[in-house]
């Protein structure tokens, strides 16, 4: 009884099995929400699939990579809004110290976000710190001049509105 020599056909299931394992691992991470890890796994899968000329699997991995990239970009874009909401909750609870701590942390990552500077000004106004509040409001209105109208309607500024640092904001 003669045995068949190993051919490239007998090696194919082994190659497919390793690609299947990479795909399973990448999908597991994707479904678990570990987007950065899933991105790396799909990148590896795409490279391996291209090396083995498995173009359909490579295109599938590329599609997942694009979806992950989009999700990561949307996540980064939503962070300032999430931080704003958290700060607003603290301000509504009349917890300006907690709000100030949160807004300072958020500003480290999003220094150019006008809404966060405005909320910082509100927290400082609630703490009766007129000059720092005016400085924060100045930064906010430089980034978004429309916030001056919100300032004029905001009751939380009433305690410091007529102080010297706010004179520039109270003009016509």
In the chain, what are the domain boundaries?
A: 13-74, 93-170
pLDDT tens digits for 67-120? Answer: 888 877 765 555 566 788 889 999 999 999 999 999 999 999 888 899 999 999
Q: What are the residues whose beta carbons fall under 8 Å from the beta carbon of 43, sequence distance 6 or more?
A: 61, 65
Dihedral Cα 84, 89, 90, 91, nearest 10 deg:
80
Tell me how far CA of residue 94 lies from CA of 37, 62, 98, 160, 165, in angstroms. 40, 49, 9, 16, 23
* pTM for the model: 0.56
Given a cut of 50, is residue 24 above it in pLDDT? yes
Q: How confident is the model at residue 33 (pLDDT cuts 50, 70, 90)?
A: confident
Query: Is pLDDT larger for residue 81 or for residue 172?
Result: 81
127 contacts 96 by C-beta, under 8 angstroms: yes
66 contacts 47 by C-beta, under 8 angstroms: no
């Amino acid at each position: 009884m003669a045995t068949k020599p190993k051919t490239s056909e007998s090696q194919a299931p082994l190659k497919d099995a390793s690609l299947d394992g990479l795909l399973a691992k990448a999908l597991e991470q994707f479904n678990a929400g570990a987007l950065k890890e899933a991105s790396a796994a799909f990148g590896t899968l795409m490279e391996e699939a291209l090396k083995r000329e498995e173009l359909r699997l490579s295109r599938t991995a590329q599609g997942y990579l694009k979806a992950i990239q989009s999700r990561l970009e949307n996540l980064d874009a939503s962070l300032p809004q999430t931080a704003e909401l958290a700060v607003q909750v603290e301000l509504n609870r009349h917890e300006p110290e907690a709000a100030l701590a949160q807004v300072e942390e958020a500003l480290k990552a999003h220094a150019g976000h006008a809404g966060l500077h405005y909320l910082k000004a509100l927290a400082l106004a609630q703490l009766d710190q007129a000059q720092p509040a005016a400085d924060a409001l100045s930064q906010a209105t430089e980034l978004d001049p429309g916030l001056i109208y919100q300032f004029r309607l905001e009751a939380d500024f009433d305690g410091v509105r007529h102080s010297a640092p706010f004179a520039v904001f109270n003009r016509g």
